[in-house]
């Protein structure tokens, strides 16, 4: 047991780098998927209902509900609506931004300053994502009725989309951890420069 504790204690910096790599993998994968139609369609409820992001779209909420493409299904009229809405163009830009945040965070392994920027941007992006728990109706289970009244709907019953969003609490904490580590390294570099 003592050797496990010593290993864990001595490996903290390695684990912080593992967090950076993990953030990069998530950002690169999710950011890359933003180039594909199904992913761009999937983020529409989040963007359309967000006071911070809805201005990127041409059509107001809740009009998007009539043009949803379920994952794995493509409907031509829906694609046309999304093209006129700016759905795909916005998704390309968002995907690029997410990918850049991932690269900056990963660069923190070698450059404290770049890692600090990446970590802070990861933290800020997570705050925006978590705001969807307040602004997006689709993050909670709807009351669709059925053979008998549905007892679990609305807050706090998270839908699949809501469960996905809630996980960004982990990204928020991870962004702060890598930012803190990078800030410590930046301060040490400054002290070394001032007091060689």
The stretches in the chain having pLDDT less than 50 are: none
Give the pLDDT of residue 40: 93
Domain ranges of the chain: 15-194
Q: Give 27: exposed, middle or buried? Use CB within 10 Å, 0-12, 13-18, 19+.
A: buried
Say if CB 122 and CB 97 are below 8 A apart. Answer: no
Give the pLDDT of residue 194: 78
pTM: 0.91
Give the pLDDT of residue 141: 92
Say if CB 48 and CB 61 are below 8 A apart. Answer: yes
Give the pLDDT of residue 146: 82
């Amino acid at each position: 047991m003592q050797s496990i504790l010593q290993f864990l204690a001595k490996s903290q910096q390695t684990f912080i780098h593992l967090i950076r790599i993990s953030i990069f993998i998530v950002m690169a994968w999710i950011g890359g998927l933003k180039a594909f139609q199904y992913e761009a369609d999937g983020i529409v409820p989040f963007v359309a209902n967000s006071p911070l992001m809805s201005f990127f779209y041409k059509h107001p909420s809740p009009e998007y509900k009539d043009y949803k493409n379920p994952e794995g299904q493509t409907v031509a009229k829906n694609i046309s609506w999304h093209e006129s809405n700016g759905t795909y163009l916005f998704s390309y830009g968002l995907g690029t931004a997410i990918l850049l945040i991932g690269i900056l965070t990963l660069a923190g392994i070698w450059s404290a300053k770049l890692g600090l920027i990446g970590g802070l941007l990861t933290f800020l992006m997570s705050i925006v994502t978590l705001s969807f728990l307040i602004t997006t109706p689709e993050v909670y289970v709807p009351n669709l009725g059925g053979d008998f009244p549905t007892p679990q709907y609305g807050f706090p019953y998270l839908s699949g989309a809501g469960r996905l969003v809630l996980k960004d609490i982990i990204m928020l904490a991870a962004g702060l951890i890598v930012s803190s580590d990078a800030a410590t390294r930046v301060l040490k570099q400054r002290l070394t420069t001032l007091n060689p």
